[in-house]
A and B are shown apart, each in its own frame.
Chain A
């Protein structure tokens, strides 16, 4: 969970920084998308690095889900008889929605790839520039789409709030002197990612970016 999660967090940081290019211009955003595909050229063929990243991410997603399912199965096996009354003593909404939140994020991921990567469910269709798909996708008339992204991104943020410091604990790098910094750091990174990911869609829907 920790290692695959870390891979995905690093990806999210890059993804967010890339998205912000839309605030410069459509061309800047498109150029960035092209650059991702032409990186390493002429040393390696078109799309080499991007394909490697995609494979690593896909493997991470699968292993992360596999780990989550096996943890969940072990948990169910370890408590066959449920409590009649159970009260949580450790606060933390984020901690308790990791599994449902994870399912929500997977569902969103499928939609997100169909929408902005493959363009299948995007108004501009598959044959269009990335910037066109993004701006058309969050058009003010499609405010409900922005709402879906808002909920999904907040879910990702909550997932990371627990996930980031938890990864340090799992890998044995946490201790009592670091907990405060780790928890604050996790909350900070989550908040930055949520804001960074929501800025473009909100700006488009409210007509700031056209």
Chain B
């Protein structure tokens, strides 16, 4: 496959950045998107150019490090797929592919396609934990959890914190991420004592970071590589309203 890439290049946080066009030739359809970028980067290094910086770690879709907006869609158009698990066979030979970093004020660009997602860490620090000695995993039947709650909590817990929800949201809202973390804990017995204070602290931190507000467009859940459901946001809103009513 031969491709034309239009990639966002930005040498550092203070650089204004620009789109740069590259030709990539002899791409195997079996390559992942990141491997295709590796091929381009090897060539750029040999030519003495600066390679394109992008985040990546496990390359098996579970760490949440990778992520870029591919042809206007966070992680590309393949549903429930991280960028590292996106394969080149989903693209046409000769296609032009636009690659941009997550765009959000709370996610400043570090370099090229790498953004600083520390804002997510601070949201977690605000309340995404349980203040009980959790110890080792308890026996499965020692603490009864309704099947529906266990399933919903697990769905929410699969969030890998990649930030695609923020990137896709027309409001630049981090509601799906924050809601996933809140729902994960608020449905389980261990999360009950701090349920309302957690929701309040995390939502307030999310707002303080400068993320936008949720207008229920559903763009987040549509691009989420883990398919975090939209009703986590309703759960978050419910807990947050109750916390404020107290």
- In this complex, how many residues of chain A approach chain B with their Cβ under 8 Å: the count is 35
Residue of B nearest to A166 (CB): B216
Q: Inside 8 A of A100's CB, which chain B residues have their CB?
A: none
Q: Which of B219, B221, B237 contacts A88 (CB 8 A)?
A: B219
Q: Least Cβ distance of A73 to chain B in Å? A: 9
* Contact stretch, chosen from B24-32, B38-46, B127-135, B168-176: B168-176
- Interface SS of chain B: mixed
* B98 touching A172, Cβ below 8 Å: no
Q: Is residue B19 contacting chain A, with contact meaning CB distance below 8 A?
A: yes
* B234 touching A172, Cβ below 8 Å: yes
Q: Is residue A141 contacting chain B, with contact meaning CB distance below 8 A?
A: no
* B231 touching A176, Cβ below 8 Å: yes
Q: Is residue B51 contacting chain A, with contact meaning CB distance below 8 A?
A: no
Residue of A nearest to B74 (CB): A89
Q: Is residue A162 contacting chain B, with contact meaning CB distance below 8 A?
A: yes
Q: Least Cβ distance of A65 to chain B in Å? A: 14
* A89 touching B222, Cβ below 8 Å: yes
* A176 touching B212, Cβ below 8 Å: no
* Contact stretch, chosen from B52-60, B87-95, B101-109, B139-147: B101-109
* Contact stretch, chosen from A78-86, A104-112, A115-123, A129-137: A78-86
Cα–Cα distance between A50 and B157 once the two chains are bound (Å): 51
* A78 touching B234, Cβ below 8 Å: no
Q: A79-B172, A176-B229 are in contact. Are A89 and B105 (CB under 8 A)?
A: no
Q: Is residue A77 contacting chain B, with contact meaning CB distance below 8 A?
A: yes
Residue of B nearest to A95 (CB): B217
Q: Inside 8 A of B234's CB, which chain A residues have their CB?
A: 168-169, 172-175
Q: Inside 8 A of A71's CB, which chain B residues have their CB?
A: 171, 212-213, 215
Question: 5 A-B Cβ contacts within 8 A?
Answer: A71-B215, A79-B103, A85-B69, A172-B236, A172-B240
Q: Interface residues, chain A, CB within 8 Å of chain B?
A: 70-71, 74-75, 77-90, 92, 95-96, 98, 162, 165-166, 168-176, 179
Q: Interface residues, chain B, CB within 8 Å of chain A?
A: 6, 8, 17, 19, 69, 71-73, 77, 98, 100, 103-106, 168, 170-173, 210-219, 221-223, 229-231, 233-241
